[in-house]
Structure 1
Amino acid sequence: MQLLEFFFGLATATDIAYYSYIYSVVEPAQYQRVTGYCRSITLLGSAAGSLAGQLLVSVAQIPLLYLSIITLVGLVDVLRILWEDFLQCYSCPALLAWSVWWALSTCGYFQLVNYVQALWEKVRPSQEFEIYNGYVETVSTLLGALAAFGVGYIKVSWAVWGELALCIFSVVMAVAVYLMDTIRNIWVCYTSYVVFRATYMLLITIATYQIAANLSMQRYALVFGVNTFIALLLQTLLTVVVVDSVGSIAVTTLLYYFAVIAVIFLMAGLYKLVWRRRSQPAAQPQTDSGETESDCLSRDSPPLNELQQITGT
């Protein structure tokens, strides 16, 4: 029954994602007709599967085990197609770099946000002092929104400076974590947390935009879903490893975690700069987003003129 519930939940989530995707690629005027088509085809496929299964069992006397094997073969075929699409998406170096940062940093972000209240409680016990945690969450969220809004007006060649920017801002996040862990002053903790959240919101907005710019619309759900899944998987593993029995986390662990992220992207950024200087003596034309036309935009996404029609630029 547990296995049945697992696959039922997976199918339900897939159904929601499917309709979300359908509504994103058709005009609102076509929603009624498209919904009817999709729902009827889904039910027709389910009815055909049920009828075929019953006929195979009742008429052809095929054991239920064989039906399970046939279903498994079909599932393997679908997974093979997804795997090929997955490899094609992540073969783009720019998309891979931003996706790696997305997964790693989102994992660390979730860990800090989930356990920062416990840290503040140790620094300033709520039973003894007045606390302002709600105000801090409000300010950090508003600054994050402001940073995300400002992304639309930043003109940077992310194809060249993306990895180094990720390195620098990862250092900022690591320093914020260090201050929270070392200087046990509640106002320092509050300020560091605001800086940490605003920095993350700034970068995750840029990462989302950069990943979307290197994808066709049909692959958005795949890549964003995989990135988020890896982040949650890493968070689960990190929770199992570093969270103690009373439910608190060693903030020092997150300091080292973000420091490692910074080192990874520092090395990647320096390597890219050296490689570009050696292999591209002549400057290539760039798009408004800072990407060169030889990047994976043309390989994994629609042509540039089609993207411009979609965005209205």
Structure 2
Amino acid sequence: MESWLKISCLLCIFGFLRELRPSEPYHAEILMGEWYHVTQDEVNRSVYPVGTYSYLALLIFVFLITDLLRYKPVIIANAITGICIWGTLIWTTTLSGLQAVEVFYGFYQAGEVAYYSYIYAKVDKQYYPRVTSHTRAAMFVGKLVAGILAQLVIGMKWMNYKQLFYISVSSQVAALLWAFFLPKVEKSLYFHNRSEAIEGGTKVEGSNLEKGSEQPSTEEANQEKKVPAWQLLWFHFRSAYTNALVIQWSLWYAISLAGFLQITTYMQVVWKSFENEPTIAWNGAVDVALTLLSAVFALLAGYFHAGRLSTRSSLLSMALLSVLEGGCVLLSCWTADIYLSYLGYVLYGGLFAFTITVASSELASSLEEDSFALVFGFNTFVGLLLQCILTFVVVSEKANLNLNVFQQFSVYAFYFIVIGVVYSIAVILQYIWSISKKPKAIQEAN
């Protein structure tokens, strides 16, 4: 087996084990059950927001520490954190205990950056597309198996909801043990970069010196001089965010991600609030359907979008799909039938997978290769910042809106609809402006 494929397989097994958490589809169901001394409103307003704020606060720190420690230690720490989270959920019963768990969960989510970026430090750039698909597929398969297992165990009444935590913590222990088999990383992008020099917006790699030809000592010293991490970070940040296309798609990415994170965080609370709640909750089956549809839509986005649409057409299609996403969210919260709510949520998830794949593709095509991690990390940070604003305004009692969970989701639905309408108007105005400028250009040419 080729070395790059072996490393990819090792990391994918870790990703699969990390995502094998059958308690996730029933997390709200468990917290609002008989095992914890908290109310539904406390879960909604006092527990889940802590995880959101923690994720935001830790993301930049984890991104930098991941690069500084060269990935593997953070992957191991992430698995240990998973053990702490689901182990603590087994024995704690109080509100303060659940809030502490959410702080750890913020680190656990932020730690995903180590999983996704590790592979790029271990394989050659020619294999990036393949290993990217491998690592993401491993996460999808882990979620898929977790959903099937959860629904089977609950449907057959082999376990109660809370006992699913034992499976989740066991998978985190397995992920921790497996993480030790991952090869060490010798370099990283910023703090342990290869000998590089930034001059005129270009990068010179020290590996070029290995060709055997003698260079003048001053030039050799310049090439072997290590670029400070802060300088390389600023260079990549500036070169990316002075590009209008990068700004345009980054804004779309962050706005869309903020809505998605908010909806997936609180959707289970909505289902728990239905009066006609079924005897057996079908959350596991819904997660399976969502994962499958998301995978299919992501593949379709790559197939239909690749070289077939202009940037303007892509943006207009994203705007229209955003309106459809808002409609799906409305279906999930305005209906009195929980099964229609399930349907709305699954359709929303599929549409989001399509739009986020297109946005990521547009971003990637506009970026310098080495700035991928920084730009996507910063865009995620902006998305989390927007999510925190949504949480504070819509969910928190401090804003004094006093919206119930169905009203909160109505706000999220119109959030997507308004975004779609604004982007549609912007694209149309941009098109009209470009058309109106053509006759003037022709006249000036004559």
TM class by shorter chain equals 0.5 to 0.7
Q: In the alignment, does 2:257 pair up with 1:106?
A: yes
1:132, distance to aligned residue in structure 2 (A) = 1.1
Cα RMSD of the aligned pairs, angstroms, is: 3.3
Three-state SS of the structure 2 residue aligned to 1:154 is: helix
1:181, distance to aligned residue in structure 2 (A) = 2.1
Q: Distance in 2 between matches of 1:212 and 1:9?
A: 22
Q: How does 1:196-275 map to 2 (within 5 A)?
A: 196-244=348-396, 249=405, 250-275=408-433
Percentage of identical aligned residues: 29
Judged with a 3 Å threshold, the aligned counterparts in structure 2 of structure 1 residues 272 and 24 are, in CA distance, closer, same or farther, namely farther
Q: In the alignment, does 2:66 pair up with 1:13?
A: yes
**Normalising by the residue count of structure 1, what TM-score does the alignment of the two structures yield?**
0.65
**Residue 154 of structure 1 corresponds to which residue in structure 2?**
304
Three-state SS of the structure 2 residue aligned to 1:112 is: helix
Code of the residue aligned with 1:139 in structure 2: it is A
CA contact (8 A) 1:177 1:251 kept: yes
**Residue 310 of structure 1 corresponds to which residue in structure 2?**
none
Q: Distance in 1 between matches of 2:229 and 2:387?
A: 28
1:80, distance to aligned residue in structure 2 (A) = 6.7
Q: In the alignment, does 2:437 pair up with 1:276?
A: no
Q: Distance in 2 between matches of 1:224 and 1:218?
A: 11
1:86, distance to aligned residue in structure 2 (A) = 2.4
Q: Distance in 2 between matches of 1:200 and 1:188?
A: 18
Q: Distance in 2 between matches of 1:101 and 1:166?
A: 9
Q: How many residues align?
A: 236
**Residue 139 of structure 1 corresponds to which residue in structure 2?**
289
1:81, distance to aligned residue in structure 2 (A) = 5.9
1:27, distance to aligned residue in structure 2 (A) = 7.6
Q: Bigger shift: 264-273 or 197-206?
A: 264-273
CA contact (8 A) 2:240 2:368 kept: no
Three-state SS of the structure 1 residue aligned to 2:273 is: helix
1:26, distance to aligned residue in structure 2 (A) = 5.6
1:24, distance to aligned residue in structure 2 (A) = 4.8
**Structure 1 unaligned blocks of 5 or more:** 1-5, 29-33, 43-76, 282-313
CA contact (8 A) 1:95 1:214 kept: yes
Code of the residue aligned with 2:264 in structure 1: it is V
Q: Which has the higher contact order (CA 8 A, sep 6+)?
A: 1
Q: Distance in 2 between matches of 1:268 and 1:206?
A: 19
Code of the residue aligned with 2:246 in structure 1: it is L
1:36, distance to aligned residue in structure 2 (A) = 4.6
CA contact (8 A) 1:163 1:268 kept: no
Listed one character per residue, the Cα deviations across residues 126-170 of structure 1 (whole Å, up to 9, x for unaligned) are 5x6322111111111101101111123215323121221111010
1:87, distance to aligned residue in structure 2 (A) = 3.5
Q: How does 1:1-313 map to 2 (within 5 A)?
A: 11-14=64-67, 15-16=70-71, 20-25=119-124, 35-36=185-186, 82-83=233-234, 85-124=236-275, 129-155=279-305, 156-244=308-396, 249=405, 250-279=408-437
CA contact (8 A) 2:298 2:354 kept: yes
Listed one character per residue, the Cα deviations across residues 241-268 of structure 1 (whole Å, up to 9, x for unaligned) are 2214699741122022112211221122
1:276, distance to aligned residue in structure 2 (A) = 3.2
CA contact (8 A) 2:276 2:338 kept: no
Three-state SS of the structure 2 residue aligned to 1:123 is: coil
Listed one character per residue, the Cα deviations across residues 31-81 of structure 1 (whole Å, up to 9, x for unaligned) are xxx95577xx95xxxxxxxxxxxxxxxxxxxxxxxxxxxxxxxxxx96576
CA contact (8 A) 1:118 1:248 kept: no
Q: Distance in 1 between matches of 2:61 and 2:302?
A: 40
Q: Bigger shift: 254-263 or 155-164?
A: 155-164
Judged with a 3 Å threshold, the aligned counterparts in structure 2 of structure 1 residues 85 and 264 are, in CA distance, closer, same or farther, namely farther
1:213, distance to aligned residue in structure 2 (A) = 0.8
CA contact (8 A) 1:181 1:251 kept: yes
Code of the residue aligned with 2:279 in structure 1: it is F
Code of the residue aligned with 2:310 in structure 1: it is W
CA contact (8 A) 2:318 2:420 kept: yes
Judged with a 3 Å threshold, the aligned counterparts in structure 2 of structure 1 residues 161 and 8 are, in CA distance, closer, same or farther, namely closer
Q: Distance in 2 between matches of 1:27 and 1:162?
A: 27
Q: Distance in 1 between matches of 2:123 and 2:435?
A: 41
Q: Distance in 1 between matches of 2:363 and 2:287?
A: 28
**Residue 58 of structure 1 corresponds to which residue in structure 2?**
none
1:236, distance to aligned residue in structure 2 (A) = 2.0
Q: Bigger shift: 197-206 or 239-248?
A: 239-248
